[in-house]
Amino acid sequence: MINAMNLSTIKNGLLPISLSIALSGCASFGKGVAEAVLEKSRAEDTRVCQVLGKSFPGIAPGLAKPHGKTKVLMVHGVGDRIPGYSTEFLEKLAKELDVTAKVSIYKDIQLMSSNESLGDLPVTRLQNKNYSKEVWFYELTWSGITRDQKALLAFDNSGEYSYRRAEVNDMLKKFSNDTGPDPIIYLGKSRELILRSFAQAFCWMNLFLSPIAWEVA
């Protein structure tokens, strides 16, 4: 017969054994996954990747020439952006290239096509202290093209719906609504507008603006 004391002893003895088996099982599973990942990483990569064209030496070599001038076009990826999103990047780039003397004149070009907005193109002109180097930085913001379509998914991002979600879930919901639809929207009618926005920005970047035109335009 098993009395109460023996039953308690058996239960107390089985619990550590059960935990030990469970933990060793988890450890074995984790070890197996880790080994599989390592083995996969050691395998030969047979994918074909070809990069055509000349290598890009960077921005600095162009500025090293006498009266060197370089133009840089910044285009954001998925997600909603507003003009000025690249300010931190611009400041770091200016410091690295030693063109921290920002010209006071600042342009914001509104891109349009048939009375339809294609985005914003702020232009910042940077120079070094002795004016021997010059960088024109163009920042394209095309989020306005997709903003109305993504707003349809954001109907439950505020008010009672958002309040009742856990904070982490609410953050993930907003992040997925902000970034997830862009590739799908790009496959639709907005693709042409986004490409047209980039084309116009590229044309403005290649358009020569003399210092006089910069001051009076």
65-75 per-position pLDDT tens digit? 877 788 999 99
**What is the pLDDT at residue 140?**
95
User: Do 36 and 142 fall into the same domain?
Assistant: no
User: Do 7 and 85 fall into the same domain?
Assistant: no
Distance CA 49, CA 41 (A): 17
In DSSP terms, 112 is beta-bridged to 117
Is 74 a member of any domain? yes
pLDDT digits (tens, 9 = 90+) for 64-108: 887 778 899 999 988 888 999 999 999 999 999 988 876 655 788
Domain that holds residue 44: 1-49
Total domains present in the chain: 2
pLDDT digits (tens, 9 = 90+) for 145-166: 988 888 776 655 555 555 555 5
Distance CA 89, CA 87 (A): 5
Model confidence pTM above 0.75? no
The sheet that has 68-75: what strands, in order across it?
68-75, 133-140, 116-127, 101-113
Is 55 a member of any domain? no
pLDDT digits (tens, 9 = 90+) for 111-146: 998 888 999 999 998 888 888 888 999 999 999 998
What average pLDDT is seen over the chain?
Answer: 74
**What is the pLDDT at residue 62?**
82
8 A C-beta contact, residue 132 and residue 66? yes
